[in-house]
Amino acid sequence: MLPLPPDVARDLPALLDRALAEDVGDGDVTTEATIPAGTRATARFLLKEDGVVAGLAVAERVFEAVDPDLAVAWTAADGDHLEAGTVFGEVTGRARSILVAERLALNLMQRMGGVATAAARFAEAARPATVLDTRKTAPGLRALDKWAVRLGGAANHRTGLYDMVLVKDNHVAAAGGVRAAAEAVDRHLRETGRDVPVEIEARTLDEVDAVLAAHADGLRVDRVLLDNFARPAPEGGVDTAPLAAAVERVGGRIQTEASGNVTLDTVGAVARTGVDFVSTGALTHSVRALDVSLKVVLDGA
């Protein structure tokens, strides 16, 4: 069976239990009415557009959860770039079981494939900067969404609210300014003994200077988030001059991350400013599903 990342392996059983209960309830009444109990079948996965396939290992667990006797075989792997028309796997066994598992397996593969494909396109357009995802994931599917991002060649930002400090505008306002927020974070980490990266958002060059001053004075600051420094240009596209000025101001003293107004059309220009990271919610918050189908053929048909 294909391997799963530890976080996915931990979360997936409960997710599949909920998803199958939601979809199947006390039985697939249509399949039970139309497919004789002993009927066997073979179903083949077909990619209907160019893209990065993802979720193959997850689909295996769906079929196993429905019927451990189903046999799944692949001619591709998670993260492979395939062309439209490629048949990349098949499942054989009881026809009823295949039909019960079909929609959940496809839903997860299509979403993960869509995320991975978007991540691959952003990552290619942004080189040499690293493209990061955000927490704008489907609730309950974060581990799968973030794995799909990695399969596509982009990288993960923080997983949740617990594994990184990210001081944004509301935190800055509540703390009384960038310096006060940086001091509060540094004090909290020392008092609690927590060792997590610290990133602080800046919206102006003055705030960039405040972040750099905090770092220079020994406060824990690993990265500055340059939010909306790349701005829509009146003639279309994006004006990256303010972002380039901010990156130059930082001068490599800490990591830089750009966010805001990042699309597939603009990410290349944003990356060319020399920023280290570019983050975008577009990888996960409104991704278009990858078109994958599963054609079921009954034995003897």
Q: Which of 60, 78, 186, 201 is catalytic?
A: 201
The residue among 53, 133, 262 whose CA lies nearest residue 270 is 262
Which candidate in 40, 44, 135, 136 is catalytic? 136
Q: What percent of the chain has pLDDT over 90?
A: 97
Q: Let me know: does 261 contact 231? Beta carbons within 8 Å.
A: yes
Judge contact between 52 and 80, C-beta under 8 A.
yes
Give 85-106 pLDDT, tens digit per residue. 999 999 999 999 999 999 999 9
pLDDT value at 301 more than 70: no
**Is 136 noted as a catalytic residue in this protein?**
yes
- pLDDT of residue 236 exceeding 90: no
Cβ neighbours for 252, distance < 8 A, ≥ 6 positions apart: none
Q: Assess whether pLDDT exceeds 70 at residue 59.
A: yes
Q: Which of 40, 44, 103, 272 is catalytic?
A: 103
Q: Is 168 a catalytic residue?
A: yes
Catalytic residue among 135, 168, 203, 272: 168
* pTM, to two decimals: 0.96
CB count in 10 Å sphere of residue 182: 25
Is residue 201 annotated as a catalytic residue, yes or no?
Answer: yes
